[in-house]
Amino acid sequence: MSIYPMRWLTACLAGAATLMATTALVQAQDLAALEAAAKKEGMLTTIALPHSWCGYGGVIEGFKAKYPEIKVNELNPDAGSADELEAIRANKGNTGPQAPDVIDVGLSFGPQAQAEGLLAPYKVAAWDEIPAEVKDPEGNWYAGYYGVMSFMVNKDLVDTVPTDWSDLLKPEYAGQVALAGDPRASNQAILAVLTAGLAEGGKPGKEAGEKGLEFFKKLNAAGNFVPTIGKAGTLAQGATPIVIAWDYNALVWRDGLQGNPPAEVVVPASGVLAGVYVQGISAHAPHPNAAKLWMEYLYSDEGQTAWLKGYCHPARFNAMSAAGKIPKDLLDALPPAEAYAKAYFPTLDEQEANKEAVTGGWDKVVGANVQ
């Protein structure tokens, strides 16, 4: 065998190693320049990030600890995805503290914001490890994390824990079932309606949205639906003993209650739906460099692990898992893998068709003013 191919391979490997080292150096230099520019701006304005959502309390504290020179200005933690887009629209040209720099919205809201010119493209250093099917090729929006729809139940007030969507229609759950958002504006609530429609046999998209509306119409007519936005507090107080929410929200709420009252989180037997939330930088961000640095932090190993501590599956989960970067105790704290095995990931078109059906039909079909 000729030795030339081996010499060629050795030279290639050496060249690749040099290129990788050079690329890493360039990235380090770029990050240092970005850090300096962000520190000069001195502020990052976020919106719709409750500290109990996806571990955001820890995420924000981690960012502040790493960059103490940057003040984090948190707007309206309880806002929905539609509210976030409206905040960008309403603050074009406003460099004050009411203009968000970054958004965290449901998957279908990313393309909508892009189509309206509300987002500024940016690709983080870990871009290649974000699955292609859940990011805009130009970097306008990109998946942050996902979870599945679940039921959180106050076991002091609910004798028999519901295990499927059809159970919620039973008379024993009168005045007990709530959504964790307004289905006319909250992505979490909109997709809860879609999930109910899937359980009712609807085809993902408009059909499931319409069947979901019919389900909630029946739930409301039966007196089981409570038009109050459900949270850990309303569940503990007994105002909403059963809350339909993303599993990561419900699990954090359960932990926070510390058994008072005892709560259980159930992934329903049918209609298991996974929801992806995406990140984006406002095209009108008063602090564009701080916004980019925030994204770099979110998609770093540290940021992704912080999301996982909040029970969210981060976008780089598979790549980090393959590289052995995920602590075993975090993996052990997640619900059993089988709870996610049958989860359905709706496409962008299906989500958009569902969103139009739900937001456009809720008042007419269900008629419950959720607030």
Residue-wise pLDDT for 68-81, tens only, equals 999 999 999 989 89
Residue-wise pLDDT for 254-266, tens only, equals 999 999 999 999 9
Q: What does each C-alpha distance from 67 to 35, 37, 70, 124 come to in angstroms? A: 8, 12, 6, 18
Q: What 8-state DSSP symbol labels residue 134?
A: G
What CATH number is given for 42-144+276-333 in this structure?
Answer: 3.40.190.10
Mean pLDDT, rounded, for 21-29: 50
**In the chain, pLDDT over 70 holds for what percent of residues?**
92
Pairing of strands 71-75, 43-47: parallel
Residue-wise pLDDT for 345-359, tens only, equals 888 888 889 999 999
The residue behind tokens 């983080």 is: 124
Average pLDDT, the chain: 90
Class level of CATH domain 147-274+338-365: alpha beta
